[in-house]
Amino acid sequence: MLVDDSAIVRGFMRRWIDEEPRIELVKVCSDGAQAVAEVANVRPDVIVLDIEMPNMDGLTALPQLRKLAPEARIVMASTLTSQGAQQTVKALSLGAADFIAKPQASAMGGVDGYRRDLVEKIIALGPRPAMRGAAAPSTVRLRQRPTQASKPAAMVIAASTGGPSALPVFLAAIANRIDAPILIVQHMPAAFTPVFAEKLESVIGKRCREAVDGDPVIPGQVLVAPGDFHMRVARAPSGRIVTLDRGEQVNFCRPAADPLFESAAAAFGNRLLGVVLTGMGHDGRAGAGRIVEAGGRVIVQDEASSVVWGMPGAVAQAGYAEAVKPLRELGQLALRMMNGEAA
C-alpha cells in the first residue's frame, strides 16, 4: 500500500512497483485517513507511508494502521531535513519498521538510488518463510569460543533495517554496566544520525553522540557514525582515535560496518567484540571475518527477532558468529563477554 499526498510521487512509485514482478500494489492512498479506512480491506504486507500529508499525517496514521493491520511492516517516507529526521525517529519509536529518505528536488541524480532502495526495502520487509527456530541453530555453523579469549577492550555494533528499534533494546540494560567504548554504525542519512544518537542516549541513560574526527576512543563513551561518513579506528601517539572519511560507499552504504569492523580489528586485535543486529544486505560480514582473524569475537541477532535477517544472517552463515541469539539475550551475552566472563 502506498500512502502519499503528492500525485507526482504516487505516479513514480506506482510505475516502479508495477515494473517489479515480485511486488503487487494493492492500494494507493492520498492521505492517512484514506489509508486507515482502507487498510483492513486490502491487508497489505508492507505500507509505504509519507510523513507530511493533509487531513491526517503519517505520524497520526501510524498507530492506527499498526492496530488495524498488525502484521504489516510500515516504511516511513521522510524528507532529508532536521524536522524530517525528528519525525522519522519518532515514527521508528512508535513501531515503524524502517524509513526511506526522499531525494531533494535539487538532487535528481538521487532518484535512481531512491527507486532501488524503495524496491529493496519493500521486498526485504515482505512475507518471509516460516522461521526455522529462534536461533536457527541447524542452518549455521557456530564458531567455537577462542581457547584464550581476552576481555574485550571495545565493542563495535552494526545495524540497518530495524536497527533504530533494536539498538535501544540491546543497549538499555547493559550500556551503563560496560566501561569499554562502544562504537555504532547505523545506516542513516546525515540529517538523521544526530537525532538518533540523542534519542538513544535518552533510552540507555549514558552519554551518546555522533563521532567527531579525531575523537579519542576511551572507556565510557558511546559513539555513532555520522551519516555520509565512514567511521574507522586508528592508532595515534595519544592512543586509539576515531577517523571519519567520505570514501567510496561500501556495500552501497556510507557509513558502512565493514570499515569500522576491519579497522577496529587492526587496532584492538583479539580484544574486540563485534555485534551485528538486524539489517538488509551483508554489510559487516567481511569485517566480522577480520575480527575473527585477529582473535576477536562476534555475536549476532537471531532471525526471529530481526526485522530483516540479512546482515546477521550473512555473518552467521559465513561461520563467524559464536552465538545467534534473540535481541535481549544477545545483550546479556554481550555484557558477560565485555566483563570477561566465560560465554
Question: Model confidence over 225-266: pLDDT tens digits?
Answer: 999 999 999 999 989 999 999 999 999 999 999 999 999 999
Is 167 found in the same domain as 243?
Answer: yes
Is 181 found in the same domain as 96?
Answer: no
Q: Does the residue 131 lie in any domain?
A: no
Is 157 found in the same domain as 224?
Answer: yes
In tens, the pLDDT along 113-122 reads 889 889 999 9
Q: Does the residue 224 lie in any domain?
A: yes
Q: Does the residue 118 lie in any domain?
A: yes
CA 240 to CA 217: how far, in whole Å? 5
Is 241 found in the same domain as 334?
Answer: yes
Q: Does the residue 132 lie in any domain?
A: no
Domain range for 221 is 137-338
Q: Give me 222's grid cell.
A: 558511546
CB-CB neighbours of 282 under 10 Å: 20
Reported as type and span, the H/E element at residue 57 is none
Q: Residue 70 is part of a domain; what is its CATH number?
A: 3.40.50.2300
- Phi, psi of 185, deg, nearest 5: -115, 115
Is 298 found in the same domain as 196?
Answer: yes
Q: Is the peptide bond before 129 cis (omega within 30 degrees of 0)?
A: no
Is 296 found in the same domain as 182?
Answer: yes
Quick one: pLDDT at residue 133? 39
Residue 267 pLDDT more than 90? yes
Is 115 found in the same domain as 190?
Answer: no
In tens, the pLDDT along 128-175 reads 655 433 444 446 888 887 766 789 999 999 999 999 999 999 999 999
Residue 17 pLDDT more than 60? yes
Last residue of a domain, one of 125, 153, 179: 125
> 232 pairs with which residues across the strands?
243
Burial class of residue 335, CB neighbours in 10 A (0-12, 13-18, 19+): middle
| Helices 110-125, 7-18: inter-axial angle, 10-degree rounding | 60
- Name the E strands within the chain: 2-3, 28-29, 46-50, 73-79, 98-102, 154-159, 182-186, 208-210, 222-224, 230-236, 239-245, 272-276, 297-301, 323-325
CA 99 to CA 85: how far, in whole Å? 10
CA 29 to CA 98: how far, in whole Å? 19
Q: Residue 302 is part of a domain; what is its CATH number?
A: 3.40.50.180
Last residue of a domain, one of 70, 104, 125: 125
Band (70; pLDDT cuts 50, 70, 90): very high
**Are 291 and 297 spatial neighbours (Cβ–Cβ below 8 Å)?**
yes
Residues with active-site annotation? 160, 187, 283
Band (101; pLDDT cuts 50, 70, 90): confident
Quick one: pLDDT at residue 73? 96
Quick one: pLDDT at residue 198? 95
Of 78, 157, 84, give the one whose Cα is nearest residue 121.
78
Domain count, the chain: 2
Quick one: pLDDT at residue 343? 54
Q: Does the residue 24 lie in any domain?
A: yes
Is 269 found in the same domain as 232?
Answer: yes
Q: What is the DSSP letter of 123?
A: H
Whether this prediction's pTM lies above 0.85 is answered by: yes
Q: Does the residue 130 lie in any domain?
A: no
Mean predicted lDDT score pLDDT of the chain: 92
Quick one: pLDDT at residue 22? 94
Quick one: pLDDT at residue 27? 96
Is 111 found in the same domain as 143?
Answer: no
Burial class of residue 9, CB neighbours in 10 A (0-12, 13-18, 19+): middle
Lowest mean pLDDT among 81-95, 109-123, 164-178: 109-123
Is 289 found in the same domain as 197?
Answer: yes
Quick one: pLDDT at residue 313? 97
Alpha carbon distances (Å) from 119 to 95, 113, 283, 310: 21, 10, 18, 15
Contacts of 201 (CB under 8 A, 6+ apart): 207, 208, 209, 222
Is 141 found in the same domain as 96?
Answer: no
